[in-house]
Structure 1
Amino acid sequence: MHPDATQRDLAKALGISLGSTNFCVRALIDQGWVKVRNFRRSDNKRAYAYLLTPQGIEAKARITARFLQRKRTEYLGEVINIGSSFEISIGDTAATIAEVMGAEIEILTDEQRLRPEKSEVERLFADNRKAADLLGWRPAYGGLDGFRRGLEHTAAWFADPRHLALYKSDRYNL
């Protein structure tokens, strides 16, 4: 990178967001691995020079890469799976929902939607250990009985007209 490169230039060259770049540059400054100098006489008052200190050039290169990866993870967050911690098929899930709601349903199978025979994925299963370790989270309803209780609570919630009025079925929300 050119010494006159901006954080925007750096973000573009690295293929990361400007916010992530700013967060990481500030972290490097806080560590003392990068010095910042403002060009007071410059017409562009937002012009800064980022100078590596001599001890930061070679010895810190690998440490910096690991540090930046940790900081990016901190900035972007981590992926944490949260699920039932037990295995249940989509068909069994649909059948349990129908049973809880007192509905008779017919489950149709579209052969094109089935997992290919030679798929590398045999099963999907949420492992909650990371959520437990990082967040102290545990499912309030465990196992198949807990899953059923959770469905009963959900169905009861939707059965209340006051709650249903709040539900936006015409929108996809996260």
Structure 2
Amino acid sequence: MGTNPIVTLADLNATQVRFYMEESDLDKVTVGNKVTVVFDALPDQEFTGAIARVDPMLVTVDGTSAAQVWATLDVPDDQTALLAGMTAEVKVVAGEAYKTLLVPVQALRELAPGQFAVFVVNESGELKIRPVEVGLRDFANAQILSGLEQGEVISTGTVETE
């Protein structure tokens, strides 16, 4: 004789969302990271919150190693449209930088693992390679911590070198 649950209780006073992050992205995530969440059923509302827990054991999701992550959401008291089990898109803010120098990631040349350079256009219009220290980056931009000054012109295209 099997036993099936008769009732499932949900605590909607502390709204949490559970999602999975691939193992390769876990180095960018820690408890306290900000998240933004958009539920499929509420596409015009964005909720914010923070990661509350990253489970220490990996699981396999669709053939990929991933960790289960829990985030607590800041939900207004008058929000009654959230239901347990809803599907959502979760974006994790892995880092933030303000008033910083950004370059397109296409401009970066990886010299060695973790070592980058850009091609800078000098006064005579020639391209010169220059090492730079890279901070935060995403799919579009990279933060430059040192090695480049605001206003300098860089190349984002293919450069032939000898």
TM-score under structure 1 length normalisation: 0.19
Q: More relative contact order in 1 or in 2 (CA 8 Å, sep 6+)?
A: 2
Bigger helix fraction: 1
Q: If the length of structure 2 is used for normalisation, what is the TM-score?
A: 0.20
Q: Which is greater in Rg?
A: 1
